[in-house]
Amino acid sequence: MINYTEKIPNNVDLGRDRVLQRALEHWQPAYMGWWYDMGPNESHNYEVYLRTAISVEPDGWAQFGYVKMPDYRWGIFLQPRDEKREVNFGIHKGQSAWQEVPGEYRSTLRRVIVTQGDTEPASVEQQRMLGTSCPSMYDLRNIFQVNVEEGRHLWAMVYLLHRYFGRDGREEAESLLARRSGDADNPRILGAFNEATPDWLAFYMFTFFTDRDGKFQLCALAESGFDPLARTCRFMLTEEAHHMFVGETGVSRIIQRTCEVMKENKVEDPSDVRALGVIDLPTIQRYLNFHYSVTLDLYGSDVSSNAANYYTSGLKGRFRETKLNDDHVLTDAEYPVFEVVGGKIITKNVPALTALNERLRDDYIDEIADGVARWQRVIDSAGIPFRLTLPHKGFHREIGNFAGHLISPDGEVLSEEAWKNHEFEWLPNSKDYAYVQSLMSGRVVEPGKFANWIAPPARGINNQPLNFEYVRFN
Ligand SMILES: [Fe+2]
Ligand SMILES: [Fe+2]
């Protein structure tokens, strides 16, 4: 169970380490200052029907009840320790998992933790204005749930920095509250976390695509030989699942509503669809193309010596590392990556160790493809002849072997002119954004009511009815 009697709820026996406790209690007001500034706009007095972790065991870790978000019990929750756990890959394979940071990996590990930690507050900042245009109380509650949990993920990384990285760690923890998404002078570390999330379609796309990058990064870190990091990430993953659920069902409900309206009114032309106040399918495809491609960049370069080092040192594993059937050292293995040579995309085998970013990206793409197939089924069952597709992996990329090349969604290498002619058929254009924005000019908050452009969900949260009062405005 988690100790909620302490100022900082935790299951790491924080009270026994006075120095650490004081350091974190010092960081806490700074965190609250950040939440008041950058957390959901105008929400501080709302009472929100939230789940809070009460235990880290897989069953029954969540308790539901009304909470004012500034009173949410952010804290430090690690999966219980397995005394027999080992380093499961790389050159230290077979050693006992590390309970302290190995000196030679200190700065690398700190960098990995800071990079992960930075994404958590970033997404809260990106989403902070969306409450003012929510399509329902149910959705408003969901975005708040995602936001408080991203806040907790920041706590999770800050705990590791404070506990294991001394003064450097404390400074990094402060910087995590100082950077701002999209800020020209002090931006967040990774590109996708500096993009705007201007509307709810973007929010659902973000939670489907970009929170899923979070899942895959956490899965790779959950394999880490540094045991406290692994245990922290394991618990974060239970929260991440809900974020991706919000994204997948959100997009699915938008598609469903669009298809209903298209069928009822027997229209197919996007401008006719828009005239009926729902989001046309080509616009949804363009949003998909954008969020997918910027998220693919988050995995880093296709060929990366850093990725090889992280793996060889036992710091960051592969997706489901311990379930894979190989030597977990990868000295002789190869892996295919794409390259653009002479106007053509070719495949080239490289040492598997150097291609670990690409491999994680491919694992991610498999899961994404399944989700997109589920969206397609909504369109198909409405009998509408429209295909949602994932663009080519090289489309609209800025990092890795495709950077600097212009690739069409079909995987054709284009001239700059050809790209310019089609760019905004493939990516959301200013009219798309303006149209979607026009649908979301105000919020829908009457219990049980949903905006015209989205279908209600199949069921409520925690078995509550759809017309449940998920948020009480004070
Ligand atoms: Fe997160
Ligand atoms: Fe998340």
User: Is pTM beyond 0.85 here?
Assistant: yes
Return d(Cα 328, Cα 196) in angstroms, integer: 39
State the ligand closest to the CA atom of 157.
1
pLDDT band at 240 (very low <50, low <70, confident <90, very high): very high
Mean pLDDT, all residues of the chain? 96
Tokens of 239: 């929260």
With a cut of 90, say whether residue 180 has pLDDT above it.
yes
- The three-class DSSP label of residue 337 is strand
What digits encode the pLDDT tens for the residues 221-234?
A: 999 999 999 999 99
State the ligand closest to the CA atom of 127.
2
C-alpha of residue 240 to centroid of ligand 1, in Å: 6
With a cut of 90, say whether residue 104 has pLDDT above it.
yes
pLDDT given for residue 197 in this prediction: 95
Mean pLDDT over residues 49-70, rounded? 84
pLDDT given for residue 5 in this prediction: 74
pLDDT given for residue 56 in this prediction: 79
Return d(Cα 88, Cα 79) in angstroms, integer: 18
C-alpha of residue 298 to centroid of ligand 1, in Å: 14
pLDDT given for residue 58 in this prediction: 67
C-alpha of residue 242 to centroid of ligand 2, in Å: 8
Mean pLDDT over residues 7-36, rounded? 93
Euclidean distance between the first and final Cα of the chain, in Å?
32
With a cut of 90, say whether residue 54 has pLDDT above it.
no
What digits encode the pLDDT tens for the residues 330-357?
A: 999 999 999 999 999 999 999 999 999 9
pLDDT band at 441 (very low <50, low <70, confident <90, very high): confident
What digits encode the pLDDT tens for the residues 276-302?
A: 999 999 999 999 999 999 999 999 999
State the ligand closest to the CA atom of 146.
2
Three-state SS for 244-306 is HHHHHHHHHHHHHHHHHHHHHHCCCCHHHHHHCCCCCHHHHHHHHHHHHHHHHHCCCCCCCHH
With a cut of 70, say whether residue 61 has pLDDT above it.
no
Looking from the CA of 55 toward its CB, the CA atoms found within 13 Å total: 6
What digits encode the pLDDT tens for the residues 160-177?
A: 999 999 999 999 999 999
pLDDT given for residue 414 in this prediction: 98
